[in-house]
């Protein structure tokens, strides 16, 4: 089933062109949003995604920018469609660009490389990024991208770190003629977002993306609070007594379970 989706701004009150193009492309259902601004809700898109929920369905748009309001939003929507087995069809100047369900829709975002390149060099240049051992390879990749931005190099070095590359990116990052610069940077930025959220990477001086150790007591503060009896702990008698009490409680509960089991009185059995 083909489901069409279109979007116009409040300044462009002429949705007929998109509607007619989607109908001409064989869409059985057409959903149109009229929105202005990146934060505006898109209820008709939600309805279109609810309709395009079966493997083999096709979500049709006239242009790619009608679907995604940002690169990150477009990647998330593409991933959702791929997981459902839904094909994405883009109508652009009379051409249909179709992608089968087993092909990653990330290949469609390459057209946005020029746009994102306007901001990433300055963005990466000002951030003092740090990483835990699990994300050191990704941090090294960010440093490689910074160096390429500074030097103007277009080719990704042969020894550039790549272990952070997830399987869904590999066919795009690793091209026949070497590592694709655009998708290498896209992939690194996507993984940087994930690493910042998980705490594997942090930004020095940031309030939101700070080092996990910053949330912990300093060693000197811990020692002072310990001897002053001011540690906010759940036990007042020390760790050994706490564990002893918990083991005793566990033993008591196990005896209760054994007694119930011997009488065939366990709940739910």
What's the pLDDT at 37? Answer: 54
For residue 133, give every residue at least 6 positions away whose Cβ sits within 8 Å of its Cβ, in sequence order, or none. none
Q: Is residue 248 part of a domain?
A: no
- 35 and 93 share a domain? yes
Query: 52, 81 in Cβ contact below 8 A?
Result: yes
Among candidate residues 180, 195, 210, the one where a domain is terminated: 210
What's the pLDDT at 20? Answer: 87
Enter the pTM of the model.
0.49
Reduce the DSSP state of residue 227 to 3 states and report it. Answer: helix
- 48 and 85 share a domain? yes
Q: Is residue 13 part of a domain?
A: yes
- 21 and 91 share a domain? yes
Q: Is residue 247 part of a domain?
A: no
What's the pLDDT at 99? Answer: 47
Q: Is residue 158 part of a domain?
A: yes
Among candidate residues 157, 185, 210, the one where a domain is terminated: 210
- 95 and 53 share a domain? yes
Active site residue 167: no
What's the pLDDT at 182? Answer: 86
- 125 and 175 share a domain? yes
- 99 and 187 share a domain? no
HSE-up (13 A, CA, CB side) for residue 217: 11
Structural domain harbouring 185: 117-210
Total domains present in the chain:
2
Strand order in the sheet with 29-34: 29-34, 2-8, 58-61, 87-92, 95-99
- 77 and 23 share a domain? yes
Containing 87, the helix (H) or strand (E) segment is strand 87-92
| Identified catalytic residue from 9, 36, 70, 110 | 9
- 7 and 97 share a domain? yes
* End-to-end C-alpha distance for the chain, whole angstroms: 47
What's the pLDDT at 250? Answer: 94
Residue 127, both tokens:
């951030």
What's the pLDDT at 268? Answer: 64
> Residue 96's domain is classified under what CATH number?
3.40.50.1390
- 10 and 98 share a domain? yes
State the 10-residue block means of pLDDT for the chain, 269 residues long: 85 74 90 72 89 90 78 79 88 52 55 74 92 95 94 92 91 86 90 93 90 83 82 69 89 91 79
């Amino acid at each position: 089933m083909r489901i069409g989706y279109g979007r116009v701004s409040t300044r462009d009150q002429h949705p007929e062109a998109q509607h007619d193009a989607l109908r001409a492309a064989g869409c059985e259902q057409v959903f149109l949003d009229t929105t202005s601004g990146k934060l505006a809700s898109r209820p008709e898109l939600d309805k279109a995604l609810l309709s395009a929920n079966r493997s083999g369905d096709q979500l049709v748009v006239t242009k790619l920018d009608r679907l995604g309001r940002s690169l990150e939003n477009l990647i998330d929507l593409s991933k959702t469609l791929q997981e459902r087995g839904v094909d994405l069809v883009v109508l652009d100047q009379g051409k249909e660009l179709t992608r089968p369900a087993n092909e990653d829709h990330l290949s469609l975002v390459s057209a946005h490389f020029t746009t994102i390149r306007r901001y990433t060099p300055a963005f990466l240049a000002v951030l003092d990024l740090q990483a835990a051992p699990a994300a050191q390879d990704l941090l090294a990749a960010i440093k490689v991208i910074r160096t390429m931005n500074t030097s103007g190099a277009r080719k990704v070095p042969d020894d550039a770190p790549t272990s952070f590359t997830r399987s869904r990116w590999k066919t795009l990052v690793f091209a026949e003629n070497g590592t694709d610069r655009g998708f290498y940077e896209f992939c690194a930025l996507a993984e940087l977002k994930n690493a910042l959220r998980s705490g594997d990477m942090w930004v020095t001086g940031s309030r939101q993306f700070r080092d996990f150790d910053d949330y912990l007591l300093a060693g000197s503060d811990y020692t002072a609070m310990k001897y002053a009896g001011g540690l906010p702990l759940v036990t007042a008698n020390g760790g050994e007594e706490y564990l002893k009490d918990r083991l005793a409680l566990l033993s008591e509960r196990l005896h209760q379970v054994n007694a119930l089991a011997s009488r065939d009185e366990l709940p739910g059995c």
